[in-house]
Amino acid sequence: MHFESLGLSPALLRALADQGYNEPTPIQAAAIPVVLEGHDLLASAQTGTGKTAGFSLPMLERLFPNGQRPTSGRPRKPRALVLTPTRELAAQVHDSVRDYSKFLTVYSTTIFGGVGMGNQIQNLRRGVDIVIATPGRLIDHMQQRHIDLSGIEILVLDEADRMLDMGFLPALKRVISAMPQQRQTLLFSATFAPAIKALASQFMHNPKEVEVARANTVVATVSHRVHPVDAERKRDLLLHILAEDSRRQTLVFARTKHGSDKLCKFLNQSGMRSAAIHGNKSQNQRTRALGDFKKGKVDVLVATDIAARGLDIEQLPMVINHDLPMVAEDYVHRIGRTGRAGASGLAVSLVSHEESGLLRDIKKLLKDEIDIAPMEGFEPSQPLRMDAGAPKPRQGGQRQRPNGNKSSHQRRPHTQERKSGGSTQAQAQAQAKRRRRGGSRTRRSPNA
């Protein structure tokens, strides 16, 4: 199939050719016509399979049919809003929208916290067609009447399941209440729990569903390896694996902000060029760490789940989970940073006896066999227990908020940067149980 047959105008086709895209990915082929017909859409496809273009291209086509602006000059109000759970993802989506609209006249801006409001206010005052935002800062602008959402024609929720979970839902409802009922709503994600779909239907009108691969699956280009290891030897094993090829770029996930800092320090002291990214870093530090990693100035990026969603890092051959995520779906998102756009990737997890229960949840979610084998010289003193009674880890750290920020105590309770009061291990277990029973998903993500 060719992009030409999807009904996109020449200006977009030229931009795609410039990007080197020869043909639509399956999610693009399935989603673009549905959006162009004006339907609401719930779209799920695995990580790294081109969802951003899946919504950006038809959004641009609908806002600017045949590449034409409906009115001359800058718009008085934004016409489309894309919401993302993290600032980094908002910036990345904005870059893509700019790439795809380079032969059109489109005014767009990002709105997210951690940076000054001045530029954002100026951009909004001048008039923009498309806003790409995280919910907390967007609400700040709404309260201060810098932005009027009454002209929104298209709302996109990227990483939609996260946007609809408990941490974001109140903010999302507030944003949605400020926009017209008559609009097109597009939800894109790699994971969709049934309860989230039911919730989403409240915000949508007869949505069409497009599912390119079974939800909650990972691309076949990623292979999974688990190394059972004693908790206190994980650092050394990590170093051992990284040292096998020190030029290889690797994203390492740790569970807590403090844990990622400690790990990063240890790796730097051991001669690995490393940086850490998490919600206690300033936005400048976050941007620099991600930028340095993308440019290859550092080889290892140690991250909390803040980096788990949506980030597109070219040529990332390996993701290592130093700690398993507390929620199995997050495994799918974490390892989705590798094996993107058809490239092959390796996901390695270092799993201690205490994390056996988490690994069991992940195996169940993926419905897949994961290669479990100790690394020579790092054999654990206790084997993993994969039966039902296996223990969950003690809450050494709490689940990381996606857009966590050190000044969370200063923030309003409805923002994604909120401290939720801390989810305990018992909460995580109860929640996993509820989900297994098919009950409603009430993920309360604590702020580490």
- Residues of this chain that bind ligand AMP (CB under 6 A): 21, 24-25, 28, 48-53, 312, 340-341
CB-based burial label for 33 (10 Å; 0-12, 13-18, 19+): middle
Angle between the 10-19 and 51-63 helix axes, to the nearest 10 degrees? 150
Phi (first) and psi of residue 222, to 5 degrees: -100, 130
Among residues 61 and 361, whose Cβ is nearest to ligand AMP? 61
Among residues 21 and 350, whose Cβ is nearest to ligand AMP? 21
Among residues 222 and 226, whose Cβ is nearest to ligand AMP? 222
- The helix/strand/coil state of 209 is strand
Q: Which residue has the tokens 């951690």?
A: 114
Q: How far is the CB of 431 from ligand AMP (least distance, A)?
A: 27
Q: How far is the CB of 316 from ligand AMP (least distance, A)?
A: 11
Residues whose CB falls within 8 Å of the CB of residue 265, separated by 6 or more in sequence, listed in order: none
Residues 142 and 175: beta-carbon distance below 8 Å: yes
Identify residue 105 by its one-letter amino acid code. T
Among residues 34 and 238, whose Cβ is nearest to ligand AMP? 34
Q: How far is the CB of 290 from ligand AMP (least distance, A)?
A: 14
Strand residue runs (E) in 229-324: 250-253, 274-277, 300-303, 318-321
Give Cα 386 to chain centroid, integer Å: 29
The length of the chain in residues reads 448
Identify residue 326 by its one-letter amino acid code. M
Residues 82 and 130: beta-carbon distance below 8 Å: yes
User: Six-digit token pair at 66?
Assistant: 């045949």
Q: How far is the CB of 80 from ligand AMP (least distance, A)?
A: 17
Q: How far is the CB of 19 from ligand AMP (least distance, A)?
A: 6
Among residues 22 and 182, whose Cβ is nearest to ligand AMP? 22
Q: How far is the CB of 341 from ligand AMP (least distance, A)?
A: 4
Q: How far is the CB of 66 from ligand AMP (least distance, A)?
A: 21
Q: How far is the CB of 441 from ligand AMP (least distance, A)?
A: 23
Q: How far is the CB of 417 from ligand AMP (least distance, A)?
A: 23
Phi (first) and psi of residue 345, to 5 degrees: -145, 160
Among residues 120 and 189, whose Cβ is nearest to ligand AMP? 189
Among residues 313 and 428, whose Cβ is nearest to ligand AMP? 313
Identify residue 17 by its one-letter amino acid code. A
Q: Smallest Cα–Cα separation from 152: which of 127, 182, 124?
A: 182
Residues whose CB falls within 8 Å of the CB of residue 353, separated by 6 or more in sequence, listed in order: 228, 230, 231, 380, 382, 383, 384, 385, 391
Among residues 59 and 264, whose Cβ is nearest to ligand AMP? 59
What DSSP string runs through 109-141? EEE-SSS-SHHHHHHHHH--SEEEE-HHHHHHH
Q: How far is the CB of 418 from ligand AMP (least distance, A)?
A: 27
Among residues 17 and 386, whose Cβ is nearest to ligand AMP? 17
- The helix/strand/coil state of 42 is strand
- The helix/strand/coil state of 350 is strand
Among residues 21 and 253, whose Cβ is nearest to ligand AMP? 21
Angle between the 356-366 and 328-335 helix axes, to the nearest 10 degrees? 70
